[in-house]
Amino acid sequence: MSLKLLPVALLLSLGTSAQTTNHASFVNPLIGTHRMGHTYPGATVPFGMVQLSPDTDTIPYEVNGKYVPDVYKYCAGYQYSDRTIVGFSHTHFSGTGHSDLGDVLLMPTLGPLQLNPGTADDPASGFRSAYAHTDERAAPAYYRALLQDHDIDAELTASTRVGMHRYTFRKGGDAHVILDLVHGIYNHAQKNVWTFVRVENDSLITGFRQTAGWAKTRTQYFAIAFSKPFKSFGYNTGGDKETYRGFWGKFNTRQNFRELIARQLRAHFDFDARDGEQLLVKVALSPVSAQGALRNLRAEVPHWSFDRVKNEGQQQWNKVLGAVDVQTIEPADRINFYTALYHAYIGTTVYSDVDGRYRGLDQEVHTATGFTNYTTFSLWDTYRALHPLYTLLQPQRNADMVRSMLAHYRQSAHKMLPVWSHHANENWCMIGYHAVPVLVDAVLKGAPGIDPKAALEACVTTARNRQYEGLGPYMQYGYVPEDKSGSSVSKTLEYAYDDWCIAQLARKLGRTDIYNEFSKRAASYRNVWDASTGFMRPRMSDGSFLKEFDVLNTHQRGYIEGNAWNYSLYVPHAPEAMIGLLGGPELFTAHLDSLFTMELPDKYFEKTEDISRDGIIGNYVHGKEPSHHVPYLYNWTGAPWKTQERVRHILPRMYRPEPGGLGGNDDCGQMSAWYLFSALGFYPVTPGSGEYAIGSPLVQSATLRLGGKTLRIEAAHQSAQNVYVQSVTLNGKRLTRPFIRHADLVQGGTLRFVMGPVVNKEAFK
């Protein structure tokens, strides 16, 4: 049937089908909220500055100076198995392994005032409340829970910079809204630095909260508006020794005093509630100032319609989710897919006000001119697949993220691109300088509005910082010696890949000097190769390999978040050379097979941080990022069907449509991005190369709107058994190798897979 023959009405219907499908309804934000996923179930819009979500506990990371391991559980503030809600805070990371945030917690209560949160075992001992999942609803831009202790229906929604609460008091009485500025995620005794709150009038408060946590010097400004005037207010300092009160001591500053200032502060705002009365609260955030928050509030939500904010938020979601319209055989796969896309789109977040102003890494206020400033760059995770996903589906946003990273570089005292950047801070988490592959991949794929020379200069300056994490010795020895800097193999391999990226950009810009310098550095992976064991192995500055070397137990012995088995496979820019080191394609294929099938003894697993057994297949650790490209390596050994098989094995096991369905941290969307690419049938093994490796699609079909172009992906004969690719054609032209170029995909057209139940070794011939 030719489109030319279709009636106009039908054409319109086809053309708008994506809009009319409620893609947001396929998202279940509760996926990943049990155990390891570390996602949050609350209300947010795509890339929203506000992540308004229930927190179910507040375990500090240390008690009496001792580390509390259980703190990892609460990276997103919420654990599905918990039975109480402490309140609703406005900032959350999605899927991280360490954490921070949990700012500006509000909790509505009924009855006698309680200014401590109480305990999970005895919620009545504080303002927290029991809740049940039967009364809970989580959807894009919407969350609801019944706070049983207070008989209050609490609903949440959000715009980009404003969170909105709707509290329905099922029974009237003495109502309070607790503003807990002690509360935070990943606490320690010294975390709260300062709190400043102004009661502007009887329904508006402004202020800031300053913390020293994962972000060493972070300030969150806010403005809070109530739909009804409070009748009184007050605060306490939660047992914290109050700072010098001076002549403030002559006032009763605890009650109805319009400035609330302390290091640890919990405030209450008091109301008389009638049966069934609804109280609305709008909370705007700003990285700049309380007035900035107020401007955000007035610009984004100048009204008091909760439903309007919710509807507009869900429209935003439908727009970005609907740009990728997939059909799957199993409804569960569609839920997985859109939830993964949802998680991918909350991994990085807007960090500038409606007027473009933001706080920079130098703690100064800057204006983002011509772009939106973003934060939450967990780059060790996200350079792999999340930023390539953005480059494909959200190229303008990704370009803005790159511009945000370049601004970070300009503001850096260390003259470095971000490593792990959040909220005007560099938290230095993990290793490498993986803003480099993000920049290079984006620039080489034609990201708009980026000066390639400035990008190259930032990459080169970053990569030459001799103070950073063994980089001086790396430049001196050709590898990071373990005796000079720990996790030396991980660093050497990742530096080498990042350096290769720099060389690619340098070549593109005709900078042969830089190309040569960094191409040489890119070969550094060879310097940690130990032919005697067949693994990458920590090496000392005297040239010898580290003597103690158990390839399974490499905890803090040359590797980070991965063992020698997984990490030794990390040479994404030179897989053929790596395969050569391991004895050629056949031996390498067998080596890979061993990885996926070996039995990992418990004693080794126990050393693996923060993933569940579910996150491991054999000794392949999908819950940790260094493995993510590994299933695709068979494409380089002449055995692409093994990639297809592994990918289809991994997909349903590592991603299940249930709260405990993620086998590891979602890591700001990197785990989800792996799912999304893999489900569509290809994966960016080597960002910066311009190529994707072909896998085995999970979807039946997909329509991707890529700017003005449309890419249609079809998987003929798709089924749970038909995991083997028989052939692939792009616009009718057969692929003769299991790779496809980004530049070809973004021209649009149809990428057609033919699937079958048996291996076709000739699929790419």
State which residue, 256 or 726, has the beta carbon closest to a second copy: 256
State which residue, 364 or 586, has the beta carbon closest to a second copy: 364
As measured in angstroms, the least distance from the Cβ of 219 to a second copy is 10
* 33 close to 76: Cβ distance less than 8 angstroms: yes
Please give the residue ranges that form the binding site for a second copy (CB under 8 A): 61, 98, 188, 190-191, 193-194, 196, 198-200, 206, 208, 210, 212-214, 216-217, 241, 243-244, 246-248, 250-251, 256-259, 261, 263, 289-291, 362-365, 413-414, 420, 427-430, 467, 469, 486
Question: Within 13 Å and on the Cβ side, how many CA atoms surround 458?
Answer: 30
307 burial (CB, 10 Å; 0-12 / 13-18 / 19+) is exposed
State which residue, 221 or 636, has the beta carbon closest to a second copy: 221
Distance CA 413, CA 467 (A): 12
As measured in angstroms, the least distance from the Cβ of 521 to a second copy is 22
Q: Across the strands, what pairs with 109?
A: 176
* Closest to 322 (Cα-Cα) out of 308, 336, 346, 342: 342
DSSP 8-state class, residue 355: T
State which residue, 67 or 304, has the beta carbon closest to a second copy: 67
As measured in angstroms, the least distance from the Cβ of 244 to a second copy is 5
Distance CA 723, CA 756 (A): 6
Residue 133: CB partners within 8 Å, gap ≥ 6? 80
As measured in angstroms, the least distance from the Cβ of 198 to a second copy is 5
As measured in angstroms, the least distance from the Cβ of 247 to a second copy is 4
State which residue, 262 or 341, has the beta carbon closest to a second copy: 262
Distance CA 200, CA 656 (A): 48
State which residue, 624 or 646, has the beta carbon closest to a second copy: 624
Which H or E run contains 435? helix 435-444
As measured in angstroms, the least distance from the Cβ of 103 to a second copy is 16
State which residue, 28 or 219, has the beta carbon closest to a second copy: 219
| Torsion-angle region of 749 (φ positive above 0: left; ψ -120 to 50: alpha; else: beta) | left
Q: Which two tokens stand for residue 438?
A: 């993000």
- Other beta carbons within 10 Å of 28: 21
State which residue, 255 or 533, has the beta carbon closest to a second copy: 255
Distance CA 180, CA 126 (A): 12
129 φ, ψ (degrees, to nearest 5)? -140, 145
State which residue, 281 or 361, has the beta carbon closest to a second copy: 361
Distance CA 232, CA 203 (A): 10
As measured in angstroms, the least distance from the Cβ of 476 to a second copy is 18
Residue with tokens 């290079």: 440
Buried b or exposed e, range 56-86, using 16+ CB within 10 angstroms:
bbbbbbeeeeeeeeebbbbbbbbbbebebbb
| Three-class HEC string of 680-708 | HCEECCCCCCCEEEECCCCCCEEEEEECC
As measured in angstroms, the least distance from the Cβ of 355 to a second copy is 14
Distance (Å) of CA 491 to CA 76, 206, 276, 568: 28, 44, 59, 12
As measured in angstroms, the least distance from the Cβ of 386 to a second copy is 20
State which residue, 297 or 582, has the beta carbon closest to a second copy: 297
As measured in angstroms, the least distance from the Cβ of 643 to a second copy is 34
State which residue, 194 or 604, has the beta carbon closest to a second copy: 194
As measured in angstroms, the least distance from the Cβ of 297 to a second copy is 15
